[in-house]
Chains A and B, each alone.
Chain A
C-alpha cells in the first residue's frame, strides 16, 4: 500500500506572493476584534462575572424551558438566564450576581432547588462570589501575559530578536482574533477559555518554531539566496508536517467536540479555532514579518552542527 501524501515533495507554493493581502486581512480581523471587544464585549461566565449556575436534568421526559421560566420567575431573583444544555432533558440556569455581599448567592440556590427538585435532578452547582471572580480575572490576565512574555524570552534566547518579534506578533494575532470570535458569537468566556488560550499560545508557537527552525537551517545552507525565496522554500518544506500535525490534532479535537460532553464544548471550540488560526498565522504572519525585520544572514559562526 502506498502511503497517502497530502503534500507532494516537489510542492512549491508561493506563500509570500500574497503577503500584503493576508497581512491586511489579518489587520482587519484584529481591528474588528478589538472593536467588537469594546462595543459588544465578552459574554463573561460566572468565573469572571460572579454569579450562580445550576445544571438540572428532568427526571422523566423532556425539560420544558418556558414552564421552568415561569416557575423561576415567581421567585423574583432578578435576571435569570435559562437554556437547554446539550440534551433535551438538561437545562442550565444562570443567575446574575445581585449584591456584592459574599455568600448571598447561597440563599438563591436554596430557593431555586426548592422549586426544582420536585421533578428535576440537580447535576451541577457553581457559585463564584465577587472576591473570587475579581481574583480570577486578574489571574487570567496575568497568566496570558506571562505566557506570552516567557515564550518571547525563550525564542529570543534560541533565535534572534527578530524571530521573537515575529512569533509574538503571530501569538497576539491569534489571541486577539480568538477573543474576537468569542465576542462576535457571544460564546461564554470563562476560566477554561483562558486555559484554551494558553494552549493555543503553546500550539501556535510550536508551529511557528518549526518553521523558524527550518528558515534558520536554510539560512545556513544558502547564504546567497534572496530572503523571500528562502522563506518560501522553508514554508514549502515544512508544509506537509504543518498540515499533518494540524489534521491529527483536529481529528482528536473534533471527536472531543462531538462526544466529549457539553461542559467542555466551549473549551474545545476555542481549541479548534486556535489550531486553525495558529496554523494560518505561522505561515502567513510569522514568516513574512521576518522579511521586514532584516534577519541575520550568516549563522555559520555559531551553532554549527
Chain B
C-alpha cells in the first residue's frame, strides 16, 4: 500500500493541482478576474438565490379559464349557426365547461350534430405522434339533449400551448426589467418555475406576472339608460375609482393588433401616459371605427377593468394613440412593458414564493464564511493534536479536499446555497473520518508490535472496506436528498455528495502518498501516532 508508481504519483499531484487552480477564481474579485489572462480558469461558483438575493416563484397556468372561454365562444357560434339554419332551440346552457343543447324538434338533431362537427377544430394529439384528434366530445343523451365538452387531448393540448405561450410572454416581460440571467422553466404539466436573481423590488416582478394584460377597446353602450344592462353589453368597473361603465360586449379592437407601446408624458397636462401604435390591419380598423363614432365615448379595458374612457374627438387614422389614466411614472412604464410583451394566454397564480433580499443574502454569505473558517480551524487543530505528523498530512488532505469541492462546484456550475455551505462544513467534519479510521488502525497495529511499514500497510488495507461501506451509505442518503430536491436542499445534497467522493479520494491517495513519501525519506523505526 505504500508503493506509488511514478505515473500514479504524478496523477495524484496533478489532480490536486487542478483542484487548486479551478478553485482559485473563487477567491478573486470579478474585476481582478477579468484582468487575468484567458488561460486561467474564470468560472466561479454560482451563488443560489438565498445568497445573492432574488426571487423564486412557482406559478401555475390557469388554463381552465381558456377552456371556459372556448366554450363561451362555442355557445355563441352554435346559436348563430342554428339561427342561420332556422333550427329552433329549446334550451342551451353551460356548466363546468360543458354545453347542454336541447332542440325543440328532435328531427333536426342530425343538422345540429353536423354544425357542432364543423365547429370542432382539429388538435394535435399526444406529443410526438403528430396525429390530429377531435377537439370536441359530442354525446347524445337519452332525453334527446346533446352534451358537448372538450376531449382530454384537446384540454391537454390547450394546456400545453398555454404554458408554452406563457413562458414566452413571461420571458419578454422579465427581460424588460433588465435583470441578469433569469431562469424560466416548465415544471410538470401546468407549472412554470421563475428564478430572478438580484431584484430590488420583488413586488414589481409579481405585479408584472400577476397581470394577464389582455387589452381591448370597447364602445360605450349608447343605449344604456341606467336600467338593466342589455345582453350585448356588460358593466365594468374603473381600475382606479368607483365609477362603472356599461360597454358593448364585443370589442372593436384588441391588444393583439398592437405593435408598440411606450411610456411618455402628456404634452399638455404633463401626466405620465402610454403611447401605443397598431399594426396595418389594426390601424385601418381603428380608423374606420373612430370615423364612424366621432363624439362618442369608448373604453380602454385591461383585464376587465376600464383604465380610461376618452371621447373620440376626431377620427384617429394614423394608427397610434395614447392612454392616459392617472398613472404614476412606474405604472405607465409597466403598462407599456405589459402591452409590448403581449397578453398572457391565461392567468397565472403563484403557488410558491421564496424571495431573499440582497441584505440577507450578503449576511448569509458572511456568516457562512465565518462558520466555515472557524469549523475548519477547530478541526485542523484537533486533528494535529490527536495524530501529530499524521494529523498534518490529514490536514493537508482536508485543505486540498475543500479546494476540490469548490473546483467541482465551479466546473459543474452547480448552485451554492446556504444549506450548501452547511453541507461543506459538515463535510469538513466528516471528511477526516476516513483518515481517522486509517490512523486508528495504524495505532492498533503498532500496539500489536508490528513494524512501522507493516503497521501502516495493514492500517490502510484493513480500513479500506470499512471506509467504502461507510461512505456509500451516506452517499445514498445524499442522492435521495437530491431527488427530493427543492432548490436549497438540492444545494445541500450536491455539496454533501461531492464532499463524500473527494474526501474518500484524498484519504486514499493524497494522505497515503504523503505518508509514503515520509517513510521513504526518513525510514522511521518508530512513529508517534
Chain A interfacial positions (CB closer than 8 Å to B)? 1-6, 9, 55, 57, 102-103, 106, 110, 113, 121-129, 131-132, 136, 139-140, 142-143, 146-147, 150-151, 154-155, 158, 191-192, 194-195, 198-199, 201-203, 205-207, 209-210, 213-214, 217, 237-238, 240-241, 244-245, 247-256, 258-261, 263-264, 267-268, 271, 305
Contacts and interface: CB of A to CB of B under 8 A. Distances in A.
Contact of B422 (A128, A140, A207, A260): A260
A267 B422 CA distance: 9
Interface stretch (B267-275, B281-289, B486-494): B486-494
Q: Which of B58, B352, B379, B461 has the most CB of A within 10 A?
A: B352
Q: Which of B351, B388, B419 has the most CB of A within 10 A?
A: B351
A89 B310 CA distance: 50
Given A249-B429, A253-B425, A260-B425, A203 B474 contact: yes
B440 interface: yes
Given A3-B386, A271-B426, A198 B374 contact: no
Nearest to A104: B349
Given A127-B353, A195-B489, A263-B418, A147 B210 contact: no
A102 B425 contact: no
B113 interface: no
Nearest to B352: A132
A192 to B, nearest CB: 6
Contact of A136 (B418, B426, B447, B486): B486
A264 B367 CA distance: 11
B437 interface: yes
B444 interface: yes
B375 A255 contact: yes
Given A121-B357, A132-B58, A213 B466 contact: yes
A195 B359 contact: no
A127 B473 CA distance: 34
A273 to B, nearest CB: 14
A213 B477 contact: no
A251 B378 contact: yes
Contacts of A128: 352
A202 to B, nearest CB: 3
A304 to B, nearest CB: 12
Contacts of B496: 199, 202
Contacts of A123: 356-357, 359-360
Given A4-B385, A210-B470, A267-B422, A252 B428 contact: yes
B386 A249 contact: no
Contacts of A259: 367, 370-371, 374
Contact of B425 (A146, A147, A241, A252): A252
Contacts of B363: 261
Given A121-B359, A252-B375, A132 B419 contact: no
Contact of B351 (A55, A125, A132, A199): A132
Contacts of A57: 359
A1 B388 contact: yes
Given A253-B375, A254-B375, 7 more contacts: A9-B444, A125-B202, A202-B475, A205-B474, A213-B465, A260-B371, A267-B419
A146 B483 CA distance: 11
Contact of A264 (B352, B418, B470): B418
B238 interface: no
A255 to B, nearest CB: 4
A106 B422 contact: no
Contacts of B276: none
B419 A264 contact: yes
B471 interface: yes
A170 to B, nearest CB: 12
A66 to B, nearest CB: 24
Contacts of A217: 462
22 contacts: A9-B444, A55-B360, A102-B350, A127-B353, A131-B60, A132-B352, A147-B476, A150-B480, A158-B469, A192-B419, A199-B426, A199-B481, A202-B476, A202-B477, A203-B430, A205-B477, A206-B430, A213-B470, A247-B382, A249-B430, A252-B379, A260-B425
B484 A140 contact: yes
B386 to A, nearest CB: 5
B360 A124 contact: yes
Given A206-B474, A209-B466, A244-B386, A143 B367 contact: no
Interface in B420-468: 421-422, 425-426, 428-430, 432-433, 436-437, 440, 443-444, 447, 461-462, 465-466
B355 interface: yes
B206 A250 contact: no
In this complex, the interface size class of chain B, counting residues with CB under 8 Å from chain A, is 35 or more
B118 interface: no
B480 A253 contact: no
A263 B363 CA distance: 11
B440 A241 contact: yes
B436 A143 contact: no
Contact of B203 (A113, A124, A210, A238): A113
A84 B354 CA distance: 20
A263 B418 CA distance: 9
Interface in B478-529: 478, 480-481, 483-484, 486, 488-489, 492-493, 496, 528-529
Contacts of A249: 426, 429-430
A267 B364 CA distance: 15
Contact of B364 (A237, A240, A263): A263
Contact of B471 (A110, A147, A155, A206): A206
B383 interface: yes
B474 to A, nearest CB: 4
Contacts of B375: 251-256
B472 interface: yes
B245 interface: no
B387 interface: yes
Contacts of B197: none
B364 A126 contact: no
A192 B489 contact: yes
B368 interface: yes
A251 B360 contact: no
B198 interface: no
A110 B353 CA distance: 13
Contacts of B25: none
B237 to A, nearest CB: 17
A224 B476 CA distance: 35
Contacts of B372: 255
B514 to A, nearest CB: 17
Interface string B200-219: 00110010001000000000
Contacts of A258: 371
Contacts of B387: 3
B484 A3 contact: no
Q: Which of B60, B372, B443, B489 has the most CB of A within 10 A?
A: B489
A143 B371 contact: no
B391 interface: yes
Which 6 A-B residue pairings sit nearest by Cβ, starting from the closest?
A252-B429, A202-B477, A249-B429, A202-B474, A261-B367, A252-B375
Nearest to A131: B351
A245 B363 CA distance: 30
Contacts of A251: 375, 378-379, 382, 429
Contacts of B374: 255, 259
B258 to A, nearest CB: 27
B472 A245 contact: no
A106 B60 CA distance: 14
Nearest to A153: B476
Q: Which of B368, B466, B493, B496 has the most CB of A within 10 A?
A: B466
